[in-house]
Amino acid sequence: MNAAALTRSWPTLAAWGAGLLQLGVGAGMITQGTGAADRGVGVLAVAVGAAALGWGVAALTRGHLVAPRVAMAIAVVGTIASGLALAADPMRISVHAVGVTVLLHVAYGVAAAAVVRRARSITADAARPADARATPRTSVVGLVAGCVIVAGLVTPALGATEAGRNAPSHSDHPLFSTEHSH
């Protein structure tokens, strides 16, 4: 199996990770924001997060990067929204979460730009969009490896967001609850 087949799903996974982080940052800004600007940036971050997740689902479902120009636009707006979030509330917005979000946006944005560039270099006679489906499908090994890498980046970064910090502790598991006399 070639390297392209192993890594074909990684841009979609990067979009999912960036989308989840954008949702976490945005949710924290909407619920914990102190002003209209915070909430406005939070709404933008949530919208970009949902768009990144949707694009990632569409691309993985089809087996190739669909609408690469849309993906590039989402990546650019997501990077800007991350910077705006950090500028709007630098005391509560995690630099770690923003850094990972930007890294993931850049990853799938560059992959989408490569698809656009490749499409420009191919003559109209040689290939049509249907030819993209003739390429080998994503490998399961590549998908699992990509999931492990993205999860390893996204999980700690998501925990560093306002939503992650306010989540209830999952380390306390009492055997007996004293509430309600049980």
Task: Give the 3-state secondary structure of the chain.
Answer: CCHHHHHCCHHHHHHHHHHHHHHHHHHHHHHHCCCHHHHHHHHHHHHHHHHHHHHHHHHHHHCCCCCHHHHHHHHHHHHHHHHHHHHHCCCCCCHHHHHHHHHHHHHHHHHHHHHHHHHHHCCCCCCCHHHHHHCCCCCHHHHHHHHHHHHHHHHHHHHCCHHHHCCCCCCCCCCCCCHHHC
Q: What is the pLDDT of residue 81?
A: 94
> pLDDT band for position 155 (50/70/90)?
confident
Q: What is the pLDDT of residue 72?
A: 93
Which residue has tokens 């982080």?
21
Print burial letters for 39-77: b (CB count within 10 Å at least 16), e (below 16). bebbebbbbbbebbbebbebbbeebbbbebeebbbbbeb
Q: What is the mean pLDDT of residues 77-99?
A: 89
Q: At residue 9, does pLDDT exceed 70? A: yes
Q: What is the mean pLDDT of residues 101-127?
A: 78
Mean pLDDT of the chain: 78
Percent of the chain with pLDDT over 70: 74
Q: What is the pLDDT of residue 78?
A: 94
Q: At residue 90, does pLDDT exceed 60? A: yes
Q: At residue 131, does pLDDT exceed 80? A: no
Q: Model confidence over 100-113: pLDDT tens digits?
A: 899 999 988 988 88
- Bigger pLDDT: 102 or 132? 102
Q: What is the pLDDT of residue 1?
A: 46
Residue pair 12/59 in contact (Cβ under 8 Å)? The answer is yes
The radius of gyration computed from the CA coordinates of the chain, to the nearest angstrom, equals 19
Q: Model confidence over 53-86: pLDDT tens digits?
A: 999 889 888 877 888 899 999 999 999 999 999 8
Q: What is the pLDDT of residue 170?
A: 61
Q: What number of other Cβ atoms are within 10 A of residue 139's Cβ?
A: 18
Distances from the Cα of 49 to the Cα of 16, 96, 103, 118, angstroms: 8, 17, 14, 27
- Bigger pLDDT: 176 or 95? 95
Residue pair 163/24 in contact (Cβ under 8 Å)? The answer is yes
Q: Model confidence over 23-48: pLDDT tens digits?
A: 988 888 888 767 888 889 989 999 99
